[in-house]
Structure 1
Amino acid sequence: MTPCTLAGNTNRSPTVITYSHLIQAVDFLSPAWRRRVLLRDLIRRDIANRYRGSVFGVLWSLLTPLLMLAIYTFVFSVVFQARWNNDPTENSNVYFATNLFAGMIVHGLLAECLQRAPLLILQNVNYVKRVIFPLELLCWVSLGSALFHALISFIVLLGFSLFTNGSIPLTTPLVLVIWLPLLLLALGVSWLLASLGVFLRDIAQVMGSVTTILMFLSPVFYPATALPETFRTLLYLNPLTFFIEQTRNVLIIGSAPDWPHWLFALLLSTLVAMLGFAWFQKSRRGFADVL
């Protein structure tokens, strides 16, 4: 296989992902399961540290999505008078807000992982010097924290839909199933970015712009069908498109998921997670030298 040389490690042999590393990567879920108690405590501490010192504490995780939902509803449906699919017979301010907020939740889940990943190792240098500490758990912690905030926003959206519509679709619980490939994708990319962030510090500087671009190139503020056919094909190359559209289908429309495409997304995301884990486990040997 072609060797992948890491910057800042010029005195060592190139870092290569071999067949044995790929075999080990198949079992990428077991480290988190074996240390699930430690992982749970780390996620709790990560969430608590985010709100430490604030007056409302963890309550901000509920207040923030409520505030954003109100702002999005006012700005896009009242000020801009935007309509979903430009259909005046089926669209209202509430319908636009729920579609918009559903897309923001999915994007926010992935965006939080991408923005935090390049700094995970740099901000936890003390863990690098501890040989027994499983550094791969840091990406699990970031994912767990992002999922916590996404679920809080999801609950807010459910409450908003129940209040405005009087009911929610029976397919709503399938949202968690829809998100499974997204979580694996976020985990695999996080392992890759966490490793590269040690050797290429510029990655952390550009991720904010990358996630903003990703938001506008995803059907967050508009449905995928609003684009011309030629651009719609490019839009579906964006992995977020599938998860956003499927989330809206089961949460708002009440239709069943697209299971064949979901299975393909699951297989592809699992492959990304395996490769990301293999790269992280191999490249971690150079962390101490750089830091």
Structure 2
Amino acid sequence: MQNFSASPRELVASLYRNRSLVRALIKREVIGRYRGSFMGLLWSFLNPIFMLAVYTFVFSFVFKARWSVDSDSKAEFALVLFSGLMVFNIFSDCINRSPSLIISNVNYVKKVVFPLEILPWVTIGASLFHAAISLIVWIVAYGVFFGEPSISIIFLPLVILPLVFFIVGLSWGIASLGVYLRDVAQFIGIVVTTMMFVSPIFYPATALPEEYRKFLYMNPLTPAIEQVRDVLFWGRIPDFKLLAIYTIISMFIAFGGFAWFQKTRKGFADVL
């Protein structure tokens, strides 16, 4: 039986070695989502525009929601909310699909030469593409309501990078478990829905009493959401100390998930 390296070096080497294949599969994934539709990729722009309009109307005009007590801007809440949802959507899109990542690609499992370990990279690559489209919509909306975005937006890739490693690490682990335990998909759906409400998406972290706020920061999505808002909307530079800690933890999760995937993939063909 073939042995698969589970070393951190192989994690990087595999991505680099198969970079052309990853790009091709991401392109196929993005195009395939809208295959057969009349407007095709145009939907990737229309969806975030529609959602941003809905959030603005519902929260600003119906509920009269405000992110801060000293602001009466109708657009502020919608843009702050939408920036948090962009982060969550990357997470939810990848994690919800992880349990079926191997099951839905049985033909790849039967091919010994196919690098199964790149599938989570393909999923997150497609999710990042759609997040980039949402970001363009967000920037245009910000420009309409508030003017030119802050220069701090250049730190956005640096803030998102730890989240990418965190999600990929989880995806490797969940994808492997999904092969052996089919109930994982149902459980993950519940977890992702719960994460949406226990993450500071619809409310600021400061809305919680200080004694409970530490539990909110145990949520791995909280640092990403808060820092994305800082660099996008509030014009602040990232908290580099928090970012460094988050990056280190995310790298450990990525290496752990990759090692688990490589160790357990030997049995995929037998189960499927």
Normalising by structure 1, report the TM-score. Answer: 0.90
Which residue in 1 is equivalent to 2:149?
Answer: 168
**Residues 1:86 and 2:69 aligned together:** yes
Structure 1 278/23 Cα, relative in aligned 2: closer, same or farther at 3 Å?
Answer: closer
Cα shift readout 1:103-133 (whole Å, capped 9, x = no counterpart) = 0000001111100111010000000000000
**Residues 1:195 and 2:183 aligned together:** no
What letter corresponds to residue 235 of structure 2 in structure 1? Answer: G
Say if 1:171 and 1:254, in contact at 8 Å, map to a contact too: yes
**Residues 1:35 and 2:18 aligned together:** yes
For structure 1, the residue ranges without an aligned partner over 5 or more in a row are 1-19
Which residue in 2 is equivalent to 1:228?
Answer: 209
Identity %: 49
Say if 1:39 and 1:141, in contact at 8 Å, map to a contact too: yes
Structure 1 distance, partners of 2:99, 2:199, is 22
Say if 1:26 and 1:274, in contact at 8 Å, map to a contact too: no
Give, in angstroms, the shift of residue 211 of structure 1. Answer: 1.3
Aligned-residue RMSD, C-alpha? 1.4
Say if 2:179 and 2:268, in contact at 8 Å, map to a contact too: yes
Structure 2 distance, partners of 1:206, 1:81, is 35
What letter corresponds to residue 34 of structure 1 in structure 2? Answer: R
Query: Counterpart of 2:45 in 1: which secondary structure?
Result: helix
Structure 2 distance, partners of 1:255, 1:27, is 36
Cα shift readout 1:9-54 (whole Å, capped 9, x = no counterpart) = xxxxxxxxxxx98861343121111111111001000111111111
Cα shift readout 1:182-208 (whole Å, capped 9, x = no counterpart) = 000000000000000000111112322
**Residues 1:51 and 2:53 aligned together:** no
Match of 1:250 among 227, 231, 246: 231
The aligned length equals 270
**Residues 1:178 and 2:153 aligned together:** no
**Residues 1:118 and 2:62 aligned together:** no
Structure 1 distance, partners of 2:213, 2:245, is 19
What letter corresponds to residue 153 of structure 1 in structure 2? Answer: S
**Residues 1:149 and 2:149 aligned together:** no
Give, in angstroms, the shift of residue 212 of structure 1. Answer: 1.4
For structure 2, the residue ranges without an aligned partner over 5 or more in a row are none
Give, in angstroms, the shift of residue 55 of structure 1. Answer: 1.1
Structure 1 distance, partners of 2:187, 2:145, is 39
Give, in angstroms, the shift of residue 240 of structure 1. Answer: 0.8
Structure 1 distance, partners of 2:212, 2:126, is 34
Give, in angstroms, the shift of residue 209 of structure 1. Answer: 2.2
Structure 1 257/91 Cα, relative in aligned 2: closer, same or farther at 3 Å?
Answer: farther
What letter corresponds to residue 97 of structure 1 in structure 2? Answer: A
Structure 1 distance, partners of 2:217, 2:177, is 27
Say if 2:103 and 2:179, in contact at 8 Å, map to a contact too: yes
Structure 2 distance, partners of 1:73, 1:29, is 41
Structure 2 distance, partners of 1:115, 1:55, is 27
Which residue in 2 is equivalent to 1:95?
Answer: 76
Match of 1:209 among 160, 168, 190: 190
Match of 1:137 among 118, 133, 142: 118
- Normalized per residue, which structure has more helix? 2
What letter corresponds to residue 100 of structure 2 in structure 1? Answer: L
Say if 2:6 and 2:262, in contact at 8 Å, map to a contact too: no
Structure 2 distance, partners of 1:126, 1:106, is 32
Structure 2 distance, partners of 1:207, 1:52, is 27
**Residues 1:69 and 2:63 aligned together:** no
Which residue in 2 is equivalent to 1:14?
Answer: none
Which residue in 2 is equivalent to 1:274?
Answer: 255
Say if 1:219 and 1:244, in contact at 8 Å, map to a contact too: yes
Query: Counterpart of 1:27 in 2: which secondary structure?
Result: helix
Say if 1:22 and 1:274, in contact at 8 Å, map to a contact too: no
Structure 1 distance, partners of 2:220, 2:132, is 20
Structure 1 85/231 Cα, relative in aligned 2: closer, same or farther at 3 Å?
Answer: farther
Normalising by structure 2, report the TM-score. Answer: 0.96
Say if 2:80 and 2:233, in contact at 8 Å, map to a contact too: yes
Cα shift readout 1:161-198 (whole Å, capped 9, x = no counterpart) = 01111210001121111000000000000000000000
Structure 2 distance, partners of 1:41, 1:22, is 24
Structure 1 distance, partners of 2:183, 2:116, is 21
Structure 2 distance, partners of 1:178, 1:41, is 26
Give, in angstroms, the shift of residue 63 of structure 1. Answer: 0.5
Structure 2 distance, partners of 1:264, 1:75, is 37
